[in-house]
């Protein structure tokens, strides 16, 4: 029994949800998102409450039940509140700047990395003296913002000895002890 799939989704003020065939269209103050789902599933919207029900107890239907509920919930939260990821660049000489949606990163390589952020997302960079540079990503699509954040982190993964690399703000990096000199 899917515990997540059985939970109803409350629809906030200013958000409209339309179900057309096998597509859920969610409109809100921040934008519009569409989510495809299996046409076997039933999605009902009554009194600003959305429920997802599965047609049978097959393993395939059970596994997709919670997934569709989570995807629709993420779309509703995205168009009403939006999502934000903050990444910090930890390392000597690491820099970030942007012109529009083109991100210019200096991550300790022999060349700068130019990364084009999709038009659906907004990017900003902050540089304060004494603190590592921060990249701020804003958008309504949780999957897209997570994918772009993961791609940016993969450009310079955090290494466990000095903690240098691209990481989320507040992310804990488990540190390793380096070599120790041999006692004579």
Do 166 and 156 contact (CB within 8 A), yes or no? Answer: yes
Summarize pLDDT for 76-129 with one digit per residue, the tens: 999 999 999 999 999 999 999 999 999 999 999 999 999 999 999 999 999 999
Domain ranges of the chain: 3-80, 83-168
| Confidence category of residue 182, pLDDT binned at 50, 70, 90 | low
Summarize pLDDT for 12-25 with one digit per residue, the tens: 999 999 999 899 99
Do 107 and 94 contact (CB within 8 A), yes or no? Answer: yes
Fold equal for 3-80 and 83-168: yes
Instruction: Return the residue matching tokens 């919207």.
Output: 45
- For domain 83-168, give its CATH number from 3.30.830.10, 2.40.30.10, 3.90.930.12, 1.10.150.120: 3.90.930.12
pTM comes to 0.88
Summarize pLDDT for 31-84 with one digit per residue, the tens: 999 999 998 899 999 999 999 999 888 899 988 999 999 999 999 999 999 999
The CATH number of 3-80 is 3.90.930.12
Rounding to the nearest 10 degrees, give the CA dihedral for residues 139, 140, 146, 147.
-90
Do 29 and 78 contact (CB within 8 A), yes or no? Answer: no
Do 72 and 18 contact (CB within 8 A), yes or no? Answer: no
Summarize pLDDT for 136-148 with one digit per residue, the tens: 999 999 999 999 9
Instruction: Return the residue matching tokens 């130019």.
Output: 114
């Amino acid at each position: 029994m899917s515990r997540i799939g059985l939970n109803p989704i409350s629809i906030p003020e200013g958000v409209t949800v339309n179900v057309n065939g096998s597509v859920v269209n969610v409109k809100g103050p921040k934008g519009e998102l569409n989510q495809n789902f299996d046409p076997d599933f039933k999605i009902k919207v009554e009194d600003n409450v959305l429920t997802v029900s599965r047609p049978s107890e097959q393993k395939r239907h059970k596994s997709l039940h919670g997934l569709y509920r989570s995807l629709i919930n993420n779309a509703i939260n995205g168009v009403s509140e939006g999502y934000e990821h903050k990444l910090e660049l930890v390392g000597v000489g690491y820099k970030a700047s942007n012109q529009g949606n083109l991100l210019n990163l200096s991550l300790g390589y022999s060349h700068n990395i130019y990364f084009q952020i999709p038009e659906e997302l907004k990017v900003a960079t902050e540089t304060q003296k004494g603190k590592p540079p921060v990249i701020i990503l804003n958008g309504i699509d949780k999957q897209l913002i997570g994918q772009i954040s993961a791609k940016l982190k993969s450009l310079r993964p955090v290494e466990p000895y000095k903690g240098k690399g691209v990481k989320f703000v507040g992310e804990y990096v488990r540190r390793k002890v380096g070599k120790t000199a041999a006692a004579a």
